[in-house]
A and B are shown apart, each in its own frame.
Chain A
Amino acid sequence: MAAKENTKKVVNALIKTIKNKKLYGEKSQAVDKFLEESYEILVDFLRKFGPLSIIISENNLIIQDEIVYSDDNKITSLPLYLYRNGIRSITFLEDISKNELSRFLSIISTHDLSGESSLLDDLWEENFDNILYYIIDRPLKDYSWVLEGNTNLTADNLYIQPINVEYNLDENLSELIQKIKGPVTTSPPAVLNELMEEERENSLLHTLFSLMSLEKKMDRAIEIVRVLKSYTDNAIKEGNINVIYKISNRLMEENNDEFKEYKEYFNEIIESTLSDEALSLYTTCILENTSKERTHKCLNLLLKGERRATPFAEKILAFSDDPEVLHGVKEMLQSIGKHHPEIVIHLLNPAKIKNFKIALEIIEYLKDPSFLPHLEKYVEEPKLTKLVLKPLFSILPREKLFNYIDSPNDYLRLQAYRYIKNLENEDEMNYFLNKVRSKDFYSLYPEEQENILRILSTMHSYEVIDTFNSILKKFTFNKYIIAIKRKLIYYLAKINTEDAWKTINKYKKSRKLKNTVREVLRKYGKK
């Protein structure tokens, strides 16, 4: 009794999925949901009650003599449709997989009615392991009259005589046969690996391009390119990323002299792969991020859209938090931004902070000074200063960097110091020496003082050593200045000239500095 009650539930769930597949196609999330549900209900039933068999009559689905589903609509009735296609019963076995059920329901719901194949052919081709069905097939026409007169024999006077070519050979034949015979195999050859789905796609493309190269008549060749175009359009419609990816790459490869007559037609196909429909497909694919390989292909395809791809990339940025996806989009925009800086500027909108940050990373990568004015306007905005400075300094001309060293904004000034790794000429050296020599030097922030001295230490000049010495010899109990003096000992050691060591040695006996001096002497192997 419990089994009977549950059968209705199973059948209704299956019918719901079929109807939805018919209505929304294969790619809809709603269909996935229905499939998931019906699979769970079916498997639960099979687990509890064993195989489920359904009889199909003209208008009904029947289980154990009870009608569990009925529909007498001549156009939409599922039982009638199955019945007309010859299906009389279906049995689901316990080990059915979701994929198997999905393929089965897809064939039933989306079977091609154009006459390309019958429902039976489609089901038979799939060779389901856990779905059995009983079908009445339409008989073939009988043309055997054609053969009448082709034989004067009758089966009644034909007799079977066993032979054995393996063990009882004539000598002459034996030798010949040994030459002919190949090795006996127990398993099929490995060549079958090539029959992967991917190879199928390669095969079609390969054939179409082969035909293009063989065909001398332009009008026919163009017809072949049109087939390629409709193949592409179909792949976009069906969301077959692999095919689109292959076509797109192949067209780029083949855009050479051999196919120069087709350039215009190839461009038309390329345009198809960059249509809004296609770009939207790639976007969904990236957002779904079902596999690394697929997402990578979609990113590559989207990239080819260049400027047109930017709004789609923005959509991805808005909806995805997946670090890998975001990284992929950033790389894609980097690539587009090289030739179209305006798309980066467009992203540089603080209202959309995710886009803003990615734009900054792209600017830092591209190092294009044309972005400068677009960044500078955010430098003084407290919330953005920190974000903007690194990319800004990476594209800032050196002379402009020195402007920031004179900035009244402490944070900007310090960051500018940090960004300067070394001095490039005497003017720069004098600029910093003047700062040290100025009476205001000791009123600067210790970190600022330290940075100035660090920068100076990159110039191995006597003037720098002499200036450092003048600080070292200054008598003080100020612990900050003492700390600076110790740093100077290190900087001098780094300068590592004879004059620098002479200066260091002068402070061997200084109470505050002798330990530091001893340490650098040891470190640099000086006595």
Chain B
Amino acid sequence: MVKNENLIIYLSSSLRTALFFEKESKTFKTHTHRLYNIIQQLLHEENDDITIDINNNYLFINNERVEISLEIMGVYRILVNDLSLRGIGKIIFRQGLLEEELKNFAFIVGRSKPLYTNTFDGIFEKIREEGISNITIGELEEFESVKEAKETSLRKEAIKNFLNGIFYLKESAYNTILGTSVKLGQAKKIIRGFIDLITEDEDFIIGLTTIKNIGSYTLNHSVNVSILSIAMGLKLNLQRKDVIELGIAGLFHDIGKIEIPETIIDKPGPLTPTEYSEIKKHPHLGVEKLILIKHMQNIPAFAIRGILEHHIDYDGSGYPPLNIETPSLFARIIRVVDTYDAMTTPRVYQDARSPFEAIQFISQNKEKKFDPKIVDRFIELVGIFPPGTIVEIDTGEVGIVYNRNTVILIGKQSKKINVEKLGRKIQRVLTPEEAGLDPSSVFIALGLKS
């Protein structure tokens, strides 16, 4: 019984560790080594293969339902969840299992993206490619329904988190104006939510940034910048506490604008030099606000530096005039994602550009305005045609890019079209006006699905 529990604990911890550590890291190897020892003992005792099955959210080991103690109920649920969301319903460990095979297996499964229709096939294929002959996996029969249920709940959670971000910022802005405290606790909870959600369903969360001007431009834009910054932080393998700070920097990067009259912020025409010089004060006004608020005890140092320097170009130009060679990492990340989100948002003084155009602009200004490495990682993150890009595909239909592999079409059964293995060709990029379509409406509809 204890061995079964330990099998669950270490199978779960090995899969989770694979997410954050490299295959050859000591931490990952330690967890898989423990797992290997437990499996070896079980193989020896049973003198037969060890089969793990998932059925109706329960785990079975060699056809016997695992009776789980309350102590490890949490780990049990995480493991069932992790396997189910990857479409894995069965794992067979055979006699003769090698430690290296187990390590490669845990890494492949742990690193695979959950909730994709082809995740299971991908894992299956990689196991074959790696020559893992003593572990076999079987597909979860109810995967499609599990996937759909999970996706729906994740998307609902994402919408909740997104809107909580906006409301939290609104409240913080009021507090800032009143000079009362900005509590980072709530911000951290929201950002933690985003991190967890991005880990499970990155595409949808990034897609949510197509929502613009809810509450006000600055509030909505700040949440978008926070989401995109967090996704970048995860892509760059930053430590969790640093990703949280990066998320905080994103949320508060424009907080200084509350000190600038709205007549300037939302001015329909070009700004006068005086007005522009007012706008240019917002990074340092924002940081001042944050650090001068009495109760902001543990000042997140990277975050405030990121906020202060987020309008400084990669070559040192821009504002405020700080005479620095290169802005800090957080500032360089926010510089890219801030530009991207601002360009794709309609404003009183300009139409929104398509995500594709924004990517083009950012790419064209590598080295001067933007850190080329950050730009490359950002393009890796959102793709050439980022989520929300409206495209016409070669069937003549108009769709909205959901992720780099799929577009969402409206009002037509996909299965009838999904005949070509390589997928459809993108013909051209459309503006929302041309398409008569607001890309965010697709993501909102998916998120509000009951």
Q: Which residues of A contact B (CB under 8 A)?
A: 50-51, 53-55, 63-64, 88-89, 91, 93-95, 112, 114-118, 121, 124-127, 129, 132-135, 140-144, 146-148, 150-165, 167-170, 173, 176-177, 179-185, 188-189, 191-192, 194-195, 199-201, 203-204, 206-208, 210-211, 213-215, 220, 223-224, 227, 231
User: In the assembled complex, which residues on chain A have CB atoms less than 8 Å from the CB atom of B373?
Assistant: 189, 191
Known: A55-B70, A125-B241, A165-B384. A160 touches B13 (CB 8 A): no
Q: Which of A93, A94, A142, A167 contacts B160 (CB 8 A)?
A: A142
Chain B interface size, as a band, is 35 or more
Contacting pair A184 B301 (CB below 8 A) = no
Given A161-B417, A163-B426, A204-B301, decide whether A150 and B284 contact each other with a Cβ distance below 8 A: no
Provide the residues of chain A in CB contact with B128, threshold 8 Å.
none
- Within the assembled complex, what's the spacing in Å between the Cα atoms of A237 and B380? 45
Which residues of chain B in 400-450 are interfacial with respect to chain A, using CB atoms and an 8 Å cutoff? 401-402, 404-414, 417-418, 420, 422-428, 438, 440-442, 444-449
B57-99 CB mask vs A (1 if < 8 Å, else 0) is 0000000000001111111000000000000000000000000
Task: List 19 additional A-B contacts (Cβ < 8 Å) besides A169-B425, A173-B428, A182-B380.
Answer: A89-B72, A91-B9, A93-B13, A118-B185, A140-B161, A141-B164, A141-B167, A146-B166, A155-B448, A158-B408, A161-B414, A162-B420, A163-B426, A165-B404, A176-B360, A191-B329, A203-B302, A203-B328, A211-B288
Complex-state Cα separation, A86 to B238, whole angstroms? 27
Q: Mark B277-290, 1 if CB is under 8 A from A, else 0.
A: 00000001001100
- Is A160 touching B414 in the complex (CB atoms < 8 A)? yes
**With A160-B402, A195-B239 known to touch, is A95 a contact of B30 (CB < 8 Å)?**
yes
Identity of the chain A residue whose Cβ is nearest the Cβ of B236 in the assembled complex: A188
Provide the bound-state CA to CA distance between A168 and B236, in Å.
29
Distance in angstroms between the alpha carbons of A177 and B359 in the assembled complex: 10
Q: Which residues of B contact A180 (CB under 8 A)?
A: 359-360, 363, 379, 384
Distance, CA A55 to CA B72, complexed state (A): 9
B424-A53 in contact (CB<8A) = no
A63 to B2, CA, bound (A): 13
Given contact pairs A159-B408, A160-B402, A143 touches B167 in the complex (Cβ within 8 A): yes
Once the chains are docked, how many angstroms separate the CA of A112 from the CA of B376? 39
| Shortest Cβ gap from B388 to chain A (Å) | 13
B360 closest partner in A (C-beta):
A180
A-B pairs with beta carbons under 8 Å apart, 21 shown: A53-B69, A55-B71, A95-B34, A121-B244, A124-B240, A129-B31, A143-B163, A144-B156, A153-B445, A160-B409, A161-B423, A163-B393, A164-B405, A180-B363, A189-B373, A192-B329, A200-B302, A203-B304, A206-B305, A208-B291, A214-B322
Q: Does B299 have its Cβ within 8 Å of any Cβ on chain A?
A: yes
Give Cα distance in the complex from A170 to B188, angstroms.
43
Whether A143 contacts B405 by the Cβ 8 Å rule is no
Residues from chain B with a CB closer than 8 A to the CB of A201 are: 301
Select which of B284, B397, B420 is within 8 A of A211 by beta carbon: B284
Partner of B34, one of A94, A121, A183: A94
Selected from A125, A161, A165, A227, the residue in CB contact (under 8 A) with B244 is A125
Instruction: Please give me the residue from chain A that is nearest to B319 by CB atom.
Output: A214
Pick the contact of A159: B161, B166, B412 (CB < 8 A): B412
Residue of B nearest to A164 (CB): B423
B239 pairs with A188, CB closer than 8 A:
no
Distance between Cα atoms of A50 and B299 in the complex (Å): 40
B316 interfacial by beta-carbon distance below 8 Å: no
Could you tell me if A89 and B375 are in contact, using CB atoms closer than 8 angstroms?
Answer: no
A64 and B69 contact, CB distance less than 8 A: yes
Of A121, A157, A170, the residue contacting B411 (CB under 8 A) is A157
Question: Per-residue 0/1 for B30-71: is the Cβ within 8 Å of any A Cβ (1 yes, 0 no)?
Answer: 110010000000000000000000000000000000000111
Check B372 for interface membership: any CB of A closer than 8 A. yes
Within B229-267, the residues touching A (CB, 8 Å) are: 235-242, 244
The answer to whether B214 and A146 have CB atoms under 8 Å apart is: yes
Query: Judging by beta carbons under 8 Å apart, are A182 and B376 in contact?
Result: yes
Given known contacts A116-B185, A158-B445, A140 and B190 CB-to-CB distance under 8 angstroms = yes
Contact across chains for B74 and A88 when beta carbons are under 8 A apart: yes
Query: Which chain B residue shows the least CB distance to A183?
Result: B376
In the bound complex, CA of A125 to CA of B363 (Å): 33
Assuming A95-B30, A132-B13, is B441 touching A207 (CB within 8 A)? no
**How many Å lie between the Cα of A12 and that of B57 in the bound state?**
36
Judge whether B160 and A161 touch: CB under 8 Å. no
Closest 3 CB pairs of A and B: A134-B74, A182-B376, A53-B71
**Which residues on B sit within 8 Å (CB–CB) of A167?**
422
Cβ B189 vs Cβ A118 within 8 A: yes
Instruction: Give the CA-CA distance A211 to B444 in the complex, in Å.
Output: 40
Known A133-B74, A165-B426, A227-B292; contact A203-B413, beta-carbon cutoff 8 A: no
Name the residue on A nearest B21 (C-beta): A129
Cβ of A133 to closest chain B Cβ, rounded Å: 7
Contact A165 B383 (CB under 8 A): yes
With a cutoff of 8 Å between Cβ atoms, the chain A residues found around residue B193 in the complex are: 140
Please tell me if the beta carbons of B423 and A168 are within 8 angstroms of each other in the complex: yes
A185→B377 contact, CB < 8 A: yes
Point out the residue from A112, A133, A140, A161 that lies within 8 Å of B406, measured CB to CB.
Answer: A161
By beta carbon, the residue of chain B nearest A153 is B445
Q: Do B72 and A91 touch (CB < 8 A)?
A: yes
Provide the residues of chain A in CB contact with B302, threshold 8 Å.
195, 199-200, 203
Shortest CB distance B320–A (Å): 5
Residues of B contacting A220 in the complex (Cβ-Cβ under 8 angstroms): 288, 292
> Cα distance A96–B123 when bound, in Å?
30
A207 with B301, Cβ < 8 A, contacts A53-B72, A185-B376 known: yes
Residue of A nearest to B383 (CB): A165
B104 within 8 Å of A by Cβ? no
Enumerate chain B residues within 8 angstroms of A94, measured Cβ to Cβ: 34
- Distance between A139 CB and nearest chain B CB, rounded to angstroms: 8
Say yes or no: A143 contacts B164, CB within 8 Å: yes
Task: Collect the chain A residues with CB atoms within 8 Å of residue B407's CB.
Answer: 160-161, 163
With A91-B75, A177-B384, A207-B287 as contacts: A162 and B163 at CB distance below 8 Å = no
A177 surroundings in chain B (CB, below 8 A): 384
Do A158 and B409 have beta carbons less than 8 Å apart?
yes
> Does B206 reach chain A (CB closer than 8 Å)?
no
* Residue B137, interface by CB 8 Å: no
Q: Which residues of B contact A134 (CB under 8 A)?
A: 73-75
Contacts A127-B239, A167-B422 given: A114-B295 contact, CB under 8 Å?
yes
- Contacting pair B301 A155 (CB below 8 A): no
B150: chain A residues within 8 A (beta carbon)? none
Whether A162 and B440, one on each chain, are in contact in the complex, defined by CB atoms closer than 8 angstroms, is no
Inter-chain contact A227/B20, CB cutoff 8 Å:
no
Give the CA-CA distance A155 to B155 in the complex, in Å: 12
In-complex Cβ contact of B444 among A91, A147, A161, A191 (8 A): A147
Contact A210/B322 with A155-B449, A169-B425 known, Cβ cut-off 8 Å: yes
With the chains together, A387 CA to B308 CA distance in Å?
Answer: 60
**A63 close to B71 (CB less than 8 A):** yes
> Are A162 and B441 closer than 8 Å at their CB atoms?
no
What separation, in Å, do the CA atoms of A177 and B386 have in the docked complex? 12
Q: Considering only CB atoms, which chain B residue lies closest to A49 in the complex?
A: B2
Complex partner residue of A185 from B69, B380, B418, CB under 8 angstroms:
B380
For the complex formed, measure the closest distance between the CB of B13 and the CB atoms of chain A, giving whole angstroms.
7
CA distance A144 to B155 in the complex (A): 11
Tell me which of B295, B377, B406 contacts A163 (CB under 8 A): B406
Q: Could you say which residues of chain A place their CB within 8 Å of the CB of B446? A: 155, 158
